[in-house]
Structure 1
Amino acid sequence: MRTSTTSLILLSSTLTLAGGCDDGFDRGIVDDGDEVAFRCSGSNCNLGLGNTSRVGDHPLSNLSETKLVSAANDTAGVRIEGGTAKYMGSPMSITEIDVEADGELKLKLSTAGWIGGTQVKGAIFYIYIDPLDGSPTINAQLKIHDAWCEPGEYDPTMTICRYQFLTNVVPHDVDYPMSEKEFGWYHTCPDEDEMGLLDDTYKFSSVLSPNVSLFSTGSLGPRIDATPGTFINGCINGAVSKGQYWLNAFYDASAYRGLQPSQRTAMLRMWMAWHGGQSRTIPGRMISPRDELGGLFDWTSDPDWSIEAGYGASGARCRGSSPTIGMHRQWIDPVVSLPGWATLPHCTDSTLHNYAVLGVKVPANLW
């Protein structure tokens, strides 16, 4: 296992899927070189894809890299019909779209070739949304209002890009407000500032994850599937994007700092403290995760932190702290009060790998 020399603390955050959870970030709280990361926060953490990228009433989590090919989303199919971008001051047609392994968006222009990084700022995609309920097709535009490429939070030797998308479709949800800078254009990510820790530049941002798709059902909960040619447009304050942006851990196992396939949904549900069919997180709880397979990130060695749980694709798979008490977000004594918790095997620092692919510690003094 590696331990970075960069301290990272994230408190009271939110997620790309449902909010009522933890965190945000601050620096300097842990100074022993270990990482601490955050969960989610908001009002819908227990259910579905409520806090995700949207155009109008429809999730825009999944997009296809191939024009004219529809990407499946929870309530509609979304396809990119074309687009334009400026190069040297001149508008040009977008002929191809590519999302690199590290989430960088690249666009091929009709006569200028490929552009990437912050050059894609101002590009506009023309998209069609086909509702699954048979409602009329929605003709929409999706604009890259801004783009930033910066050193990774966990690994500053690499560059992570994030984007701010706007749409000309008026939303019904007031949490997706009109841009203060572009009249008639609306944010596709919700107005969530991580309890005051994200300014306007960050709180509406998205990151892109290639070759995967995001779905949620009432019976199975949220999941991330391997889907070649499709990329997730995930809000930066969402659970699906936190691992990529804050831990620089990618869903593509072949990428630098890539997660194994079994860790895709596990990462999502780890951030949601998923157990018994719902998220169990609340605002203000810090977490420190550990990668049991690839050793990409390791948890704090602070003795005041205890194992909360080990996570797999189904959520919590083993319980930490003492065998008789256990520890899990939102529950002071989960063995007694949280249905199904007592039946989970007990995991320790040395046995966690027998049960789960990701582990999480929490500050014991919070309980």
Structure 2
Amino acid sequence: MRTSNNILILLVSTLSFAVGCDDEFYADFGEEEVIALRCNTPDCGSGLANTSRIGDHSLSNLSETLIAPAANTTSKVRIEGGTAEYLGSKTAIMGIDVEADGELKLKLATGGWIGGAAVEGATFSVVIEPLDGEPRIAAELKIAGAWCSPGRYDASMTICRYQFVTDIEPEDTKLYPESEEMPGYYHICPDEDEDGALDDTHKFSSVLSPNVSLFANPSVGPTIADSPGIFINGCINSAVAKGQFKLNAFYDPTAYRGLQLGQRTALLRAWMAWFNGGPRTVPGRFISLKDPLGGLFDWTSEPAWVLEAGYGAEGARCRGGAEDTGNHRYYIDPVLSLPGWSTLPPCTTADYTSYGAVLGVKVHGDL
């Protein structure tokens, strides 16, 4: 556990948020092979769609230092205090920490540190400072559920997921509905089940990624930056959380099974099939990912699956297949409708890293 220097009765939660969209699905392709479902909703845009919200503001980056505001897309967010249950009584939260594997730890005024499922029921006092100059908003952020279980890709490590709700009603109560278990509180993750890939017990859940932050620029797109002491709360139905929740691969290169620095944004954009300034996924299609640099995960060896592209931090860097074809994109024939696709150098499963790609993506040849 990292040491927290928080000494106030305040809590600093490092939640954050998720970009992109898609969920992972495990098929019978072998222990070291993983299949992922690409975005299946129309909101997989260049911004931070399909991610967590507190009221009508993005809830992405939070500081691990109490009262310290963290920059988000629409506001600054800080946690100013909180309470948690200990031996049947409420006690103040003095500090917060997010472990290298994404587990949330809370330091209590009595009882010391708690973690795992014990953080369920904790309530954080949050202040939102809108960037447009509107008045500050006081909010509650409550942990409605906490579950920890062996990682799907590496069972030797524990992956925790959390369900957060807030007392601030959003404008879109259909996408961010009121909690059935906690009336008056609203889910911060969208009601999107990835076309059945997520059941009701998973679709509102988040995972926490420490030491990184998430940003989106309309001209550049979403990026993940190195930010010690900040963590991202990624809804598991968005691309930013996929690597951690399904592959047990973390953005922090110092973490167990951590990606290299240059792979953070690359992983995000590979899931979004990012090319030419935008995501190019076809809703509901499956992909398979390969990490040639760290060897943390490998794609399926099934012959029906073919290489789509090699991806780097800017998106697709080399293409699989012939110049006049492309897989798993909005366009049946990318060379005709997607400027620049045919100019990408071809890549092979053996050596696509020579074109500056750091991740590989395969798709099913029949799709």
Normalising by structure 2, report the TM-score: 0.92
Offset, 1:340: 1.0
Q: Secondary structure at 1:243's aligned position in 2?
A: helix
The residue number in structure 1 matching 2:19 is 17
Identical residues among aligned pairs (%): 63
| CA distances 1:5-27 after superposition (whole Å, capped 9, x unpaired) | xxxxxxxxxx93255xx555253
Moved more, 234-243 or 345-354: 345-354
Please tell me the residue identity of whatever aligns with 2:321: S
Offset, 1:329: 2.0
Query: 1:85 and 1:189 mapped to 2: Cα distance?
Result: 22
Work out whether 1:172 is the aligned partner of 2:171: yes
Query: 2:151 and 2:291 mapped to 1: Cα distance?
Result: 18
Normalising by structure 1, report the TM-score: 0.92
Q: Contact 1:212/1:227 (CA < 8 Å) preserved in 2?
A: yes
Q: What pairs with 1:1-367 in structure 2 (closer than 5 Å)?
A: 16-19=18-21, 24-28=24-28, 30-31=29-30, 34-174=33-173, 175-355=175-355, 356-366=357-367
Q: Secondary structure at 1:353's aligned position in 2?
A: helix
Query: 1:314 and 1:161 mapped to 2: Cα distance?
Result: 30
Query: 2:169 and 2:323 mapped to 1: Cα distance?
Result: 52
Query: 2:100 and 2:26 mapped to 1: Cα distance?
Result: 28
Q: Contact 2:324/2:334 (CA < 8 Å) preserved in 1?
A: no
Q: Contact 1:46/1:280 (CA < 8 Å) preserved in 2?
A: no
Offset, 1:31: 4.8
Offset, 1:323: 4.5
Offset, 1:302: 1.1
Offset, 1:358: 0.4
Offset, 1:162: 0.2
Distance verdict in 2 for CA 1:332–1:100, change over 3 Å: same
Distance verdict in 2 for CA 1:199–1:165, change over 3 Å: same
Query: 2:323 and 2:196 mapped to 1: Cα distance?
Result: 37
Q: Contact 2:195/2:284 (CA < 8 Å) preserved in 1?
A: no
Q: Contact 1:23/1:286 (CA < 8 Å) preserved in 2?
A: no
Query: 1:316 and 1:229 mapped to 2: Cα distance?
Result: 31
Q: Contact 1:309/1:328 (CA < 8 Å) preserved in 2?
A: no
| CA distances 1:43-84 after superposition (whole Å, capped 9, x unpaired) | 211231121111011010111111110010001000010111
Q: Contact 1:23/1:194 (CA < 8 Å) preserved in 2?
A: yes
Query: 1:43 and 1:282 mapped to 2: Cα distance?
Result: 10
Query: 2:263 and 2:232 mapped to 1: Cα distance?
Result: 16
Offset, 1:327: 3.4
Q: Secondary structure at 2:366's aligned position in 1?
A: helix
Offset, 1:130: 0.1
Structural RMSD (CA): 1.5
Please tell me the residue identity of whatever aligns with 2:298: D
Q: Contact 1:328/1:334 (CA < 8 Å) preserved in 2?
A: no
Q: Secondary structure at 1:349's aligned position in 2?
A: coil
Query: 1:204 and 1:198 mapped to 2: Cα distance?
Result: 9
Offset, 1:197: 2.5
Offset, 1:351: 1.9
Please tell me the residue identity of whatever aligns with 2:91: M
Q: Contact 1:319/1:327 (CA < 8 Å) preserved in 2?
A: no
Query: 1:239 and 1:109 mapped to 2: Cα distance?
Result: 33
Moved more, 341-350 or 98-107: 341-350
Offset, 1:33: 5.2
Q: Secondary structure at 1:343's aligned position in 2?
A: coil
Moved more, 82-91 or 332-341: 332-341
Please tell me the residue identity of whatever aligns with 2:366: N
